[in-house]
Amino acid sequence: MGKENRTVLMPTEVSTRVGFFDRFAGMASLIAGRAAFFAFCVLLIVVWAPSILLLRDIDTWQLIINTATTIITFLMVALLQNSQTRNDQAVHHKLNAIADALSDLMVQLERGLPDRDLSQDVKELRAAIGLEEHESTSDNAAAAPGRS
């Protein structure tokens, strides 16, 4: 596997545009993580269990729950993986901002440059706060002023 040559994005360079699938996956992740969703899943099992009395065929009865749980599991894994990937990218961008600011601060202290402007580092660190809210799994680099 070859490594991709990707530029390092700083938090201010990350676009605030989030795609439809990323928004959908985020909402699904929020819903699936709640106690109400777990209660709904338990309710489905409670409703399914006595349906053996209606179906009278154990193979059909098992096929219904096996198919339903397989489909739901497959879809949830895809949605939750998307959310995990976005969170990982947000953490990566935050660490980039922290490392850059720390590096600049260390250079400033080492060289004794008290008047050096660290305002860009402060801007990047502030932009890193809440970055996970607009992180996307697609190419989310903010468009440069000359690009559209």
Q: Are 90 and 131 in contact (CB under 8 A)?
A: yes
Domain count of the fold of the chain? 1
Q: Give domain status of residue 104, yes or no.
A: yes
For range 84-100, the mean pLDDT: 80
Predicted pLDDT of residue 10: 67
Residues of the domain holding 61: 19-131
Q: Give domain status of residue 112, yes or no.
A: yes
Q: Give domain status of residue 78, yes or no.
A: yes
Which amino acid would we find at residue 29? S
Two structure tokens written together for 135: 């992180």
Q: Give domain status of residue 13, yes or no.
A: no
pLDDT tens digits, one per residue of 10-33: 666 666 677 888 788 888 888 888
